[in-house]
Amino acid sequence: MDQAEHLTLYQQMVVIRRLEEKSAELYQQGKIGGFLHLYIGQEATGVGAVAARSPHDNVITAYRDHGIAVACGMEPKVILAEMLGKVTGCCKGKGGSMHLADKRLNFWGGHAIVGAHIPLATGLALANKFRGEDSVTLCFFGDGATNIGYFHEGLNLAAVWDLPIVFICENNQYGMGTSIERASAVPEMRQKAEAYGMPSARVDGMELLAVHEAAAAAIAHARAGQGPYFLEALTYRYRGHSMGDPERYRKQEEVRRWQSDDPIGKFEAVLLKRGISPDDLNAIEAQAEATIADAVRFAEESPFPPPEELWRDVYAEPEAEPQPA
Ligand SMILES: Cc1ncc(C[n+]2csc(CCOP(=O)(O)OP(=O)(O)O)c2C)c(N)n1
Ligand SMILES: [Mg+2]
């Protein structure tokens, strides 16, 4: 990556952080309904991994999806409009925070049922292989999802069929309120991939460049036809699981320890060491603030969908598929 690409990734992480802080505020004002799972602390994982994909590669994730959506190129104004239930949102305001998606970006969501998107990811990769396309699917999920049946079925079939897929476990060390020690039989999530004969790596999820490098290698492996790869990124969420989490399951000093390992602060230090000026970084910060302020205005001024929209988009219209030879 060159310096311009580094700055783009820095900017993405800062935009995500500001977007999430603003979302929390809007939620507290009652403007966002349902659940809201913030990505604060995990920015380097999503941004680093998605930066390694080609635009024709698929990305799919769980409900903690705002950061991954930004990394995939979704505009913050479209994300905020979706969260506020407005017609200008990516799903016309009918999906909300947990169901961001845009097929044009090859970003397949945003899924609320823990682990349920993992077999969908396997299906995306199967479709690519069947059609002879060289796309790779990046499937993000949490540590908690690795204890779910869908995970094991999805990984097993991906390995049986040698599918072009990278499973990316964002190990933030907790499910809703249960630590991995209390929920997982093995301490490293990648050990579960070994059961399916899948090669794996474990990376520091707070280090943007380390995540990017590991994801690039995993994607190259999958694209070369060598089958699935499992990448575990060790990370941490600074906020509660969802809004209104009393966080009785962890100590504040543990949170503070991880906050001192902040992925944005660490990448900032790397950039300064490589000769980027503090002024350049300040300008990116200011630009991110302005982007989010514009996005809030856009979302607030957009209309709610009309009632008849309720019956539209329930099922997708099938597209004409190319027939196999
Ligand atoms: C099948 C199912 N069971 C339970 C839940 C409730 N639930 C929502 S998130 C969550 C924890 C998942 O933790 P993890 O996979 O580590 O993701 P994280 O929230 O840490 O990103 C649970 C149990 C759910 N949404 N779906
Ligand atoms: Mg987790």
**Residue 314: its pLDDT value, please?**
86
The pTM for the full model equals: 0.96
Q: Give SS3 for 4.
A: helix
The parts of the chain modelled with pLDDT lower than 70 are 322, 325
The percent helix, strand, coil of the chain (3-state, each to 5) is: 50, 10, 40
Are 254 and 179 in contact by the 8 Å Cβ rule? The answer is no
Task: Indicate left, alpha or beta for 58 from its phi (over 0: left) and psi (-120 to 50: alpha).
Answer: beta
| Alpha carbon distance 67, 266 (integer Å) | 18
CATH of domain 3-21+35-307: 3.40.50.970
Cα 240 to middle of ligand 2, angstroms:
11
Cα 172 to middle of ligand 2, angstroms:
5
Most ligand 1 atoms within 8 A of CB, residue of 113, 176, 179, 249 to mutate: 176
Cα 206 to middle of ligand 2, angstroms:
15
Alpha carbon distances (Å) from 263 to 9, 17, 43, 55, 72: 12, 11, 7, 24, 19
**What pLDDT digit, counting tens, does each position of 179-226 carry?**
999 999 999 999 999 999 999 999 999 999 999 999 999 999 999 999
143 CB under 6 A from ligand 1? yes
Cα 141 to middle of ligand 1, angstroms:
9
Closest residue by CA, ligand 1 atom 2 = 114
Closest residue by CA, ligand 1 atom 11 = 175
**Residue 325: its pLDDT value, please?**
66
* Residue that has been written with the tokens 């600074």 in this structure: 238
* Residue that has been written with the tokens 């504040």 in this structure: 252
**Residue 318: its pLDDT value, please?**
73
Annotate 134-165 with three-state secondary structure: CCCEEEEEECHHHHCHHHHHHHHHHHHCCCCE
Closest CA to 125 of 226, 203, 200: 226
Q: Which atom of ligand 1 is nearest to the CA of 176?
A: 11
**Residue 124: its pLDDT value, please?**
98
Alpha carbon distances (Å) from 120 to 38, 111, 256: 23, 10, 36
228 CB under 6 A from ligand 1? no
